[in-house]
Amino acid sequence: MKRFLDLVQERRSVRRFSERPVSNEEITDLLEAARLAPSASNRQPWHFIVVKDEEKRRELAKISGNQRFVGEAPVVVAAIALEPERVMTCEVPTYAVDLAIAVDHITLAAADMGLGSCWIGKFHQDEAMRLLEVPAEYKVVALLPVGYPADQPKEKSRKSKQAIASAEVFGCEWEETP
Return the pLDDT at 173.
87
Q: Note the pLDDT tens digit of each residue in 6-42.
A: 889 889 999 999 999 999 999 999 999 999 999 999 9
Q: Note the pLDDT tens digit of each residue in 79-111.
A: 999 999 999 999 999 999 999 999 999 999 999
Q: State the Cα–Cα distance between residues 152 and 83, nearest whole angstrom.
A: 37
- Band (159; pLDDT cuts 50, 70, 90): very high
Question: Span 111-140, mean pLDDT?
Answer: 97
CA–chain centroid gap for 140, Å, is 12
Return the pLDDT at 156.
79
Q: Is the pLDDT of residue 122 over 90?
A: yes
Return the pLDDT at 178.
64
Find residue 51's DSSP bridge partners.
76
Nearest-10 Cα torsion for 105, 28, 57, 66: 10
- Band (1; pLDDT cuts 50, 70, 90): low
- Domains observed in the chain: 4-151 (3.40.109.10)
Q: Is the pLDDT of residue 75 over 70?
A: yes
